[in-house]
Chain A
């Protein structure tokens, strides 16, 4: 992705370079031609989105006004250039052999003035635009990221991270890049077209008609080819997608490929898709490649036509040679933005579509606000009650049905049951990552929704199965829950979590830099750090969601020691697959299909010979069979 971005920024800069110059239209065309290749994404509501976007652009009203002013002035000056050239040619060729130097001097001076002014104006535009567009992007990114803070966990569960990433980076880039560029281009293009057309009409109406004919031909041709290629490019995109997923799959599963001696087979399959991609890519490239030369032909044809007809007119003394010269320049200035217009409009559309995707996130429902007189939960005793709680992530599928239970303060509650039974959902509800659909949850006798969300979550310490660590040092990671902790506190927490030992063995100890998601530590070590992090934050209520399931049982014993230490005197919830882990819990809830099917402590449930009994002894059935 990074490379693509680089390409984009660079492409942009080049485009900027060349779009400012009127003599090198060819470069711009070929560049934007390449960029506009992908299938065009049309926004759903162009105007409404543009209006919303104005909120961000409007903050830069003053700068924008300057840019527009410079743009308009510069466009007119650019229009003046060819006229002055024609004028000077005329002064040179007016009376054969005799040149009126005082007139030429005036014209050339005027020309230099025009060039210098328009050069300065172009520079100022670029300078101001750079600041403005970047400020807009930064602002939008900031707003969007802030929005992410207030979105419920559900949002992150539903949306693939890759997609969110692309909205935060690509789409926003796209918005500012394409919109600022395409609107100014659209504007200057329109001025150019109208201005050139007027100038041409003034110079020679007859030649203008000739010129318009060839212009129509160019537009028609571009249409035909674009129609043909857009289909091909779509096909190419599809084949490319197929190739990419084949590559992804076989590279990430390369060990299996090797284990089954399937190298030749996957290569053959690759070859197949690769060839198909080549075929359609070739077609697409050839067709789109015809556009440039053909357009050149038509343009040159137009020039030749103007030369012939203009020549005839000049011989008949209807126009001067200077008129032909300036007319040619104008016709070029007329054709370029005309060719680009469709392209620019597509760019603008894709920019607006990007903005739409960004706004979609901004429109997402936030976590409900705290009640106006919400209480602050501070050092709760940890008396937790579920009262007829029902919940569904989607309205039509209920995950929890009428769940009621009580956890006394300082007690430990274990949740067991098959995957998908709703164990994690219960945890999500207590911590208000989600809110109940029906019923209520009470902590210390008060509905959790009446506390501020902030203070509520501060009371919980959660250890998840996948211990997430951030890039940074080990110390920073442990301190994450309590940024102002002293080094001593950090070490004490690590000692309690049985993490101190392995940390001391690392060359840089607590200053060891962790890579993203702590990939340079083992699963068990990461889990120990996560536990130290929780210990340091001194939670009142502890939640262990499969905290030890990815760790082998011997290491688990060490971690359990640490956990038992912090659970002492605190209310705790434990979700575990290994029933052995939760035997000591005060209360075990057996959950299936969103309902509590059994409840009680280990001995009671075993005595009861119900579901739990079955689960427990299935584990040891083999043991008995082998009489150990």
Chain B
């Protein structure tokens, strides 16, 4: 896992320190049964009170030592795993933030969230576990074996039989048990999706009276889940007793053969107790190891998912970072632009678009859903790179400039107005970190949002709930416009951003743009023809191509599709 390498350098030393303490802890654990044996065989058998006390004291001392080691280990392992997890999460978050939208489209947004939360936690748990038990398991196992051999080499033969059997049982359990649980998970997912669909489509189900069908679908998945779960659980129920039985047979064998050796005078009773102790400790360590394996399997999936994100490379390259602002401000040129989300050119959603927006011009874009309007304007702030052709902002080819520089000039109001938790003020300030109250209010006035904001009891300090739940669609859109405007951009892009605002207010907003920002280049995507018909220039898109460009009156004459849109909305008689 070379992706861990950047962290091993940082946490490696501490990691090994923790491992060292785990070893100390284990050694202490290992010594205890031996002392115990001595107490029994020497102290008690020899009726030597002093020896018992001495060794007893020594036992307490070792115990304390082990505890101290364990405490240090706990502090170190907690620190390392927590800090590592925190850093990994931050790095992953940073990575995601620097990826281009094209990269991000590879992932489901929800899955990115789980990667940042669950998956990181999963790995963090593994790292912590590594320092706690992974080292301890094998060490305890080998240590116990050595101690056992020292006690009586011949009895170790019993171990040679018991331990491999237990090991094989654990292996079989993991090998066969795991696929069962994967199956259970799959069926569970199915069941969940039946439920989720039912919940989302409940009106449809009710409207069509399809209860029986839904219940049947659910029962089928439910039965399947029961079947698979029972199988998986029964599979498991064989192994626990199996392992126990094997070990217990071992104990019986140790007692029997041990008795023989004691009879022959080769060992003492205390040794038998110690030997049994070591044997159970070995079993314990084997179970520990199997647990770690399970953790590994789980963390492996998580690690892969995280690596997948880290492996994404931002394909956008730029060599220019214009130091001074270009001479022209607010000009956009499209030159034979093709764009497709996939690789193939046939699937292009924008085809051969050539157009120019001059500074201060107000340009409308209209067309049916799926005609490529949003895709077209996404190219300007370089959310995506064109497949072929070129786009110039202020005379600079966007493909060669740092996107940050372009985005600095552009204000965007997206289709879906997304607000963030915080106050209204905070949200508008997104556009300009150090905006004054005056600037914010002006922006809000332009967006026709000021009036409804001050009508709120807390005015600009009103808290915005997650996703802006406490505002209506039109209010959210106006806040989003204010947010974009406070930036004082050279270019303003409204992507169907006034759909929930009524016609009169929309008109006021457009008027305000004209008044407050004369040189502002404005691109307005709209569904309503009324929203664009008074603009300086209207671009009609159909299936990714420009089919008409010009003023309203010109388009009414020349563009069939524009006329269609017009009549579909306004009616023939107007």
Report the separation of the CA atoms of residues A523 and B374 in the bound assembly, to the nearest whole angstrom.
15
- The distance in angstroms between the C-alpha atoms of A85 and B251, with both chains bound, is 9
B362 to chain A minimum Cβ distance, whole angstroms, is: 14
State how many angstroms separate the Cβ of A25 from the closest Cβ of chain B. 9
Name the residue on B nearest A11 (C-beta).
B294
Q: Could you tell me the distance in whole angstroms from the C-beta of A336 to the nearest C-beta in chain B? A: 13
Question: Among the interface residues B247, B269, B467, B487, which one has the most CB atoms of the partner chain A within 10 A?
Answer: B269
Contacting A at CB under 8 A, from B4-45, are: 25, 32, 36, 39-40, 43-45
Does chain B have a CB within 8 A of A363? no
* A556 x B568 contact (CB < 8 A): yes
B556: which A residues are within 8 A, CB to CB? 628
List of A residues within 8 angstroms of B390 by Cβ: none
Q: How many A-B residue pairs have CB under 8 A?
A: 464
**Which residues of B sit under 8 angstroms from A2, Cβ to Cβ?**
185, 188-189, 192
Contacting A315 at CB < 8 Å: which of B49, B383, B403, B404?
B49
- Count of interface residues, chain B, beta-carbon cutoff 8 Å: 175
| Chain B residues whose CB sits within 8 angstroms of the CB of A10 once the complex forms | 181, 294, 298
Q: Give A240 to B120 CA distance when docked, in angstroms.
A: 13
User: Chain B interface: which of A114-122, A187-195, A439-447, A563-571?
Assistant: A114-122
Q: Are B564 and A554 in contact (CB under 8 A)?
A: yes
Q: How far is the CA of A293 from the CA of B67 in the complex (A)?
A: 6
Q: Select A470's contact among B114, B201, B219, beta carbons within 8 Å.
A: B201
B142 within 8 A of A: no
Within 8 A of A (CB), among B235-282: 236-245, 247-249, 251-252, 255-256, 258-260, 262-263, 265, 268-270, 272-273, 276, 280
Quick check: A161 and B196 within 8 Å, CB to CB? Answer: yes
- Mask of B397-408 contacts with A, CB within 8 angstroms, 1/0: 000000110011
How far, in Å, is A578 (CB) from chain B's closest CB? 7
Q: How far is the CB of B371 from chain A (nearest CB, A)?
A: 8
| B-contact bits for A541-585, CB 8 A (1 contact / 0 none) | 000000000011111110000000000000000000010100100
Contact for A251 among B77, B112, B239, B404, CB less than 8 A: B112
Task: Choose, from A128-136, A342-350, A493-501, A586-594, the stretch at the interface.
Answer: A128-136
Minimum C-beta distance from B180 to chain A (A): 9
Please report whether the interface of chain B is mostly helix, strand, loop or mixed according to DSSP. Answer: helix
B421 within 8 A of A: yes
The reply to whether B237 and A619 form a contact with Cβ atoms under 8 Å apart is no
A292/B70 in contact, CB under 8 A = yes
Q: How far is the CB of A408 from chain B (nearest CB, A)?
A: 23
Our pick among B181, B208, B260, B568 for the contact of A554 (Cβ within 8 Å) is B568
A611 at the binding interface (Cβ < 8 Å): no
Q: Is A297 an interface residue (CB 8 A)?
A: yes
Contacting residue for B383 out of A101, A148, A258, A628, CB 8 A? A258
Whether A92 and B63, one on each chain, are in contact in the complex, defined by CB atoms closer than 8 angstroms, is: no
A454 part of interface (Cβ distance < 8 Å) = yes
- Contacting pair A85 B265 (CB below 8 A): no
Q: Contact at B421–A249, with CB atoms within 8 Å?
A: yes
CB-CB under 8 A from A126, the residues of chain B are: 233-234, 236-238, 240-241
B530 within 8 A of A: yes
B320 CB-CB contact with A under 8 Å: no
Select A111's contact among B97, B184, B211, B255, beta carbons within 8 Å: B255
CA distance A281 to B214 in the complex (A): 44
Cross-chain contact of B262 among A27, A93, A149 (Cβ < 8 A): A93
- The answer to the question of A366 belonging to the interface, with a C-beta cut-off of 8 Å to chain B, is no
Contact present for B82 and A297 (CB under 8 Å)? no
Question: Contact at A24–B181, with CB atoms within 8 Å?
Answer: no
B273, A89: Cβ atoms closer than 8 Å: yes
Q: Are A256 and B414 in contact (CB under 8 A)?
A: yes
- B56 close to A516 (CB less than 8 A): no
- Give the contact stretch, choosing among B322-330, B442-450, B500-508, B512-520: B500-508
Which of these, A129, A145, A260, A524, contacts B215 with CB under 8 Å?
Answer: A145
Supposing A4-B118, A580-B569 touch, asked if A122 and B241 sit within 8 A by C-beta, the answer is yes
A433 to B258, CA, bound (A): 79
User: Is B82's CB under 8 angstroms from A282's CB?
Assistant: yes
B59 at the interface (CB under 8 A from A): yes
A183 within 8 A of B: no
- Asked if B66 lies at the interface with its beta carbon under 8 angstroms from chain A, I say yes
The smallest beta-carbon distance between B70 and chain A, in angstroms, is 3
Q: A164-B199, A301-B63 are in contact. Are A97 and B263 (CB under 8 A)?
A: yes
User: Do the beta carbons of B45 and A96 come within 8 Å of each other?
Assistant: yes
A437 within 8 A of B: no
Q: How far is the CA of A292 from the CA of B29 in the complex (A)?
A: 14
* A623 x B294 contact (CB < 8 A): no
Q: Does B172 contact A (CB under 8 A)?
A: no
Rounded to whole angstroms, the CA-CA distance of A628 and B133 in the bound complex is 80
Q: Contact between B263 and A311 (Cβ–Cβ < 8 Å)? A: no
Does B75 interact with chain A (Cβ within 8 Å)?
yes
Find residues 166-219 in chain B having any chain A CB closer than 8 Å to their own CB.
173, 177, 181, 184-185, 188-189, 191-193, 195-204, 206-211, 213-215, 218-219
Is A223 located at the chain interface by the 8 A CB criterion?
no
**Most B CB atoms within 10 A — which of A99, A120, A256?**
A256
Asked if B476 is at the interface (CB within 8 A of a chain A CB), the reply is no
B32 engages A300 (CB within 8 Å):
yes
Q: A7-B298, A123-B238, A621-B504 are in contact. Are A17 and B287 (CB under 8 A)?
A: yes
Check if A98 is an interface residue, CB within 8 A of chain B. yes
- Contact mask A586-628 → B, CB, 8 Å, 1/0? 0000000000000000000000000000000011111100101
In angstroms, Cα B118 to Cα A1, docked, is 9
Q: Is the CB of A296 within 8 A of B66?
A: yes
B573 to chain A, nearest CB (A): 10
Q: What is the minimal beta-carbon distance from B84 to any residue of chain A, in angstroms? A: 10
CB-CB under 8 A for A289 and B74, given A134-B229, A468-B200: yes
A162 to chain B, nearest CB (A): 9
Is A204 interfacial (CB-CB < 8 Å)? no
**Chain B: minimal CB distance from A435 (Å):** 14
A290-314 CB contacts (< 8 Å) to partner B: 290, 292-294, 296-297, 300-301, 303-305, 307-308, 311-312, 314
B89 CB contacts on chain A under 8 angstroms: 274
> Which chain A residues lie closer than 8 Å to B211 at the CB level?
149
Instruction: Verify if B472 is at the interface (C-beta below 8 Å from A).
Output: yes
Find the A residue at minimum CB distance from B432: A260
What's the least CB distance linking B65 to chain A, in Å? Answer: 10
Checking B93, B202, B230, B503 against A621 with a beta-carbon cut-off of 8 angstroms, the contacting residue is B503
Complex alpha-carbon distance, A3 and B298, angstroms: 9
Q: Chain B residues near A464 (CB, 8 Å)?
A: 203-204
Q: Is B344 an interface residue, CB under 8 A from the partner?
A: no
Q: Which of A42-50, A384-392, A455-463 contacts B (4 or more CB under 8 A)?
A: A455-463
Of A92, A169, A620, which one neighbours B192 at CB under 8 angstroms?
A169
Closest to B226 in A: A138
Per-residue CB contact flags for chain B residues 64-82 toward chain A (1 = under 8 Å, else 0) read 1011001100110111011
Among residues of A, the one whose C-beta sits closest to the C-beta of B63 is: A300
Asked whether B139 is an interface residue with its Cβ less than 8 Å from the other chain, the reply is no
Report the stretch among A55-63, A262-270, A371-379 that lies at the interface.
A262-270
Between B234, B241, B298, B418, the greatest number of chain A beta carbons within 10 A of the residue's beta carbon is seen for B241
Given contacts A89-B269, A91-B259, A419-B472, contact A165 B240 (CB under 8 A): no
Please determine whether A296 and B208 come into contact, CB atoms closer than 8 angstroms.
no
A485 is an interface residue with CB less than 8 A from chain B = no
Which residues of B111-143 have CB atoms within 8 Å of chain A's CB atoms? 112-114, 116-119, 122, 128
Least CB distance from B194 to A in Å reads: 9
Shortest Cβ distance from residue B308 to the other chain A in the assembled complex, whole angstroms? 15
CB distance from A485 to the nearest CB of B (A): 12
Which of A83-119 touch B at CB < 8 Å? 85, 88-89, 91-93, 96-99, 101, 104-105, 107-108, 111-112, 115-116, 119
Q: A282-B82, A296-B66, A555-B368 are in contact. List 16 more A-B contacts (CB 8 A).
A: A10-B181, A21-B243, A24-B283, A85-B276, A119-B248, A260-B430, A265-B433, A274-B90, A282-B83, A285-B82, A300-B63, A307-B56, A311-B39, A419-B472, A580-B568, A623-B570
A-B contact pairs, 5 of them (CB 8 A): A10-B298, A13-B233, A130-B234, A138-B225, A281-B82
The 5 closest A-B pairs by CB, nearest first: A126-B237, A293-B70, A308-B56, A93-B269, A130-B233
